[in-house]
A and B are shown apart, each in its own frame.
Chain A
Amino acid sequence: MTPHMLTRSLDRGATIFLAIVAACGILIPLSNLLLPAGSFLQVPTYLVALWGKYVCYAILALSIDLIWGYCGILSLGHGAFFALGGYAMGMYLMRQIGSRGVYGNPILPDFMVFLNWEKLPWYWYGFDMFWFAALMVLVVPGLLAFCFGWLAFRSRVTGVYLSIITQAMTYALLLAFFRNDFGFGGNNGLTDFKDILGFNVQAEGTRAALFALSCLALIVGFLVCRAIVSSKLGKVLIAVRDAESRTRFLGYRVESYKLFVFTVSACMAGVAGALYVPQVGIINPSEFAPGNSIEAVVWVAVGGRGTLIGAALGAVVVNYAKTFFTSGMLAPYWLFMLGALFILVTLLLPKGIVGTFNSWWESSREKRLAGVAASAAAEDGITEPKLAEKRS
């Protein structure tokens, strides 16, 4: 990212958002580690892990907003990229267990020993190295998105049809990962992790560090998205969203733009999944469930589509509500509440929380400006107030 792209992408809202995320990323781990347990300001470790999960969801939401909010691609299968990133990290964590597993096999993870496998399948090679796993966190979701997008966008599959095939994609992966002979732990998935880069995954220090890293990833992801949407490419994306065929007649290769942004988005979702797995301690095929992907789209809708900040906010707000409601007597009704939330937001707040706030802010600012301009005009005798402020 070049300097001019960075400065262009930072407006006031973006700066405030980044400052808040950075503050959380620094203060919460510090409070958890340095303050005495039980102190009023100390954040307990279980909350650090829970909030870390929310931050990962926020990154996933950001990746969905990038394609849905700005390019009009409604992916109902983004959970698949998240889960693939998670599996790549999970494979690394499995290989780190080594001979500490139940069966004590230094190479094979427990589930392979249990299935009487003699040797490691080829696609598990290299995952004992962190750099390789980290690379795969980006490459596997990115490559799948590239191939999927190449086929779908070139054939001009759009709108609801595209959404349906993304659902089919994640469902197909769900079924595949459920199979024991697929080599990823089947139904149980990957769990019982011991350490990451030599640090105990259960330790408070590691959890605090993972939380800080998740916040850092959210910041980087946000900056990447902002750089994309505030560039000329971002204008092309919005043009594609609003009038795809018109954009084509201007000489833009629409499918290349979609492919680019879809692949970037999938890589981001993969990173989110990779940070999620060590914090929750398990990855299993249920992460591919179509419902998960749909839920992630609801976060973005609630927070405000096409605002980026809204996506992150929506993810945190909805998941906070989920934690709150599913831990009490209302637990059986959570899905009904989620559905009702989606309907209410669509009907009453079609722009989502942040979108509605932005329009309110714009209109009140215009009123203020009009007031100022009118009084200035009255004083100076200027007749034409310049109201057409550029929207930033």
Chain B
Amino acid sequence: MNVMDTRATSAMLYLDGVHVSFDGFHAINNLSLTLEPGEMRAIIGPNGAGKTTMMDIITGKTKPDEGTVLFDGVTDLTRLDETRIAELGIGRKFQKPTVFESQTVQDNLLLALNVDHSVRGTLFWRGSRAESERIDKVLETIRLTDARNRLAGSLSHGQKQWLEIGMLLAQDPKLLLVDEPVAGMTDVETHLTAELLKEINKTHTVMVVEHDMTFVRELGVKVTCLHEGSVLAEGTIDQVSSNERVIEVYLGR
């Protein structure tokens, strides 16, 4: 059977009518959103708009009360757990950089590589040339080649953010969810991160959650503004930031 026949949608990610509430608080309220393959989308919204909860739903950490979440047109993500979703090809960078602090930069990337993740595979693992070349390439991309043998815990905040992006690259997922990649970065680092994400977007579908408007503007992609768990506005950064309701709830001008 042709796979295309079974696809409900051409979108890489398709959310429709998603609801989640925690103890009566509606974190996500009738959220509908689609991401086309190869697209990069910036998600903005005030605190509590449901940005992180949305990522939790996509990655299987939180189960929605109702609604459809389809990945790659065919896979219902609401039925799968985190590990399975990661195996399918959805990678996530957390808001707070989460790297394995007591291990070296190189080992962090090694752990992230999308190779055999079974107990037996890792127990009898022996390094291969292809693997170390991939790690070298990622290290170069994230500019951490000189720090490869340092413990990840000893990196600066910005470097940790980059290492986490590097881990995403090593994971090589179809869809990257990037939560606040430039939080706590200097202007130069922010600029470099935008460049890096644009580079990554050439081969991957990316969703970026970010507060930093300069950064979002620099990405130059379609923007979705969330508010109280649903989509408030969608369009270019100029359209969205001139939308009166967006100004009201978010920009506060």
Contact = CB atoms under 8 A, between A and B. Distances in A.
Interface of A: 2, 4-5, 228, 231-233, 235-236, 238-239, 242-243, 245-254, 256-257, 260, 388-391
B86 A232 contact: no
B135 to A, nearest CB: 13
B138 to A, nearest CB: 14
B98 interface: yes
B227 interface: no
Contact of B100 (A232, A243, A251): A243
Q: Is the interface of A mostly helix, strand, loop or mixed?
A: helix
B239 interface: no
Contact of A250 (B107, B112, B125, B146): B112
B1 interface: no
B103 interface: yes
A370 B92 CA distance: 38
B122 interface: yes
25 contacts: A4-B126, A5-B124, A228-B123, A231-B122, A231-B124, A233-B119, A235-B110, A236-B122, A238-B102, A239-B103, A243-B100, A246-B98, A247-B111, A249-B82, A249-B86, A249-B92, A250-B171, A251-B87, A251-B114, A252-B83, A252-B117, A253-B117, A256-B118, A257-B119, A388-B150
Interface in B51-108: 59, 61, 81-83, 86-87, 91-92, 94, 98-104, 107
B149 interface: yes
Given A249-B59, A251-B86, A235 B117 contact: no
Nearest to A241: B102
A239 B111 contact: yes
A65 B123 CA distance: 18
A210 B41 CA distance: 68
A9 B103 CA distance: 17
A391 B148 CA distance: 12
B85 to A, nearest CB: 8
- Give the bracket for the number of chain B residues in contact with chain A: 35 or more
B15 to A, nearest CB: 19
A260 B94 CA distance: 28
Nearest to B152: A242
Contacts of A236: 111, 122
Contacts of B114: 251
Contact of A248 (B86, B118, B147): B86
A281 B183 CA distance: 64
Contacts of B83: 248, 251-254
A228 B119 CA distance: 11
A251 B171 contact: yes
Contact of B125 (A231, A245, A248, A390): A231
B24 to A, nearest CB: 25
Contacts of B111: 232, 235-236, 239, 247, 250
A232 B109 CA distance: 12
Nearest to B116: A232
B44 interface: no
A244 to B, nearest CB: 10
Nearest to A254: B83
Best-buried of B61, B104, B114, B117 by chain A (most CB within 10 Å): B117
Contacts of B101: 242
Interface in B119-147: 119, 122-126, 146-147
A249 B146 CA distance: 27
A388 B106 CA distance: 12
A227 to B, nearest CB: 8
B192 to A, nearest CB: 22
B149 A233 contact: no
A267 B127 CA distance: 29
Nearest to A231: B123
A245 B61 contact: yes
B167 interface: yes
